[in-house]
Homo-oligomer: A and B are copies of this chain.
Amino acid sequence: MALAIMCSGGDAPGMNAAVKKFVDYTFDRGETPYLIYDGLEGLIDGSIKKAEHRDVAGILHRGGSIIRSSRSPRFFEYEYRKQAFENLKKHEIEGLVVLGGDGSFRAMDTFSHEFAVNFVGIPTTIDNDIYGTEYCLGVDTALNTIRDALDKIYDTASTFNRAFVVEVMGRECGYLAVVSAISSGAEICIIPEVDFNLHVTEQKLKQEIANGRRYILAIVAEGTKMTDKVAGWLQMELEFDTRVTVLGHIQRGGAPTTFDRMMGFDFAVQAVDHLLKSKDLNKVVVYNKGEFGLLDIDVVTSKKYQIDPNLLSMLNVLD
């Protein structure tokens, strides 16, 4: 049976590990692996290649994705989806593994209802905001990249009396911000899921400053658009010399951590196993309580990820 893999949407560390394992393991199972380059755009344009071992040699330690990714407005049009299907048919590809997030899964859901394509999603986004799975590929690397930046800021913070505002990724989900704030001991954490009361915090911080606090670290999730506001407030109300760092796409790069490599392998094996054995269509591989499972694509895309309340409570302890 011919199986193909592609990346879709924002890239994340660990994609290369999943791609490599997909190729090696599909061969091990006696089947034929294909690579689709440039995501949905490449699927439409026919950038599809029968994979060889050498295509995926020496890629485990590389960030990004060797088969690249894309966002594809064209894929919203039936005509292009049809063209994409024709490309798959030409190579007799019966199963498709897609590394991506919510949006990509929704696109594939539509696609797989229209055409005879079996699809398995691997949740891949550093935002960690996909319903039904505790872990999305790439999150561990992103957290450690943020940590490294915060450790560097701590060096300079402890030298001086200063406030730092660090903006991390997270459009609708504060996961990266919350874990980073907890693990770096930040004083302030602002995320989309929680209303932040500057007045309450102000009281508390003024008390601490009176007791000798000389350093404030605030982590802000990008999606809140609060970075400049918080910086201004620290400067004006608390009278701290305040500096802003916006980490941006650094968070998507870097050599994947050991955990993201192992998870990339495991996700790929789960996906291939499912495509080869099951008639059950259109699933997403999920990881919960240390074990892998499968969820219907409909369930994953129709519900909204909720951040673990235990995490939020660890945060409350801090601020």
- Chain A positions within 8 Å of B, measured between CB atoms, are 7, 10-11, 13, 15, 17, 20, 24-25, 28, 58, 60-65, 68-71, 134, 140, 143-162, 164, 166, 179-180, 182-185, 241, 243-250, 252-255, 257-259, 261-262, 265, 288-291, 314, 317
Contacts and interface: CB of A to CB of B under 8 A. Distances in A.
A150 B249 CA distance: 10
A259 B147 CA distance: 10
Which 5 pairs show the lowest CB-CB distances between chains A and B? A63-B155, A152-B253, A245-B248, A155-B253, A64-B159
A41 B233 CA distance: 25
Nearest to A148: B255
A180 B149 contact: no
A13 B170 CA distance: 28
A253 B64 contact: no
A150 B250 CA distance: 8
A60 B183 contact: yes
17 contacts: A10-B160, A15-B159, A58-B158, A60-B183, A60-B185, A61-B147, A61-B151, A70-B161, A145-B152, A182-B262, A183-B258, A245-B246, A246-B246, A289-B289, A289-B291, A290-B290, A290-B291
A64 B258 CA distance: 21
B180 A258 contact: yes
A158 B291 CA distance: 33
Contacts of A69: 159-160
A247 to B, nearest CB: 6
B155 A64 contact: yes
A258 B290 contact: no
B134 A290 contact: yes
A24 B257 CA distance: 29
A253 B148 CA distance: 10
A163 to B, nearest CB: 11
Contact of A249 (B140, B156, B259, B265): B156
Contacts of A152: 63, 145, 249-250, 252-254
A245 B250 contact: yes
Given A60-B185, A156-B249, A164-B249, 19 more contacts: A25-B317, A61-B151, A61-B184, A68-B160, A140-B257, A144-B257, A148-B255, A151-B253, A152-B252, A153-B248, A153-B250, A153-B253, A157-B249, A245-B246, A245-B247, A245-B249, A257-B257, A265-B314, A290-B290
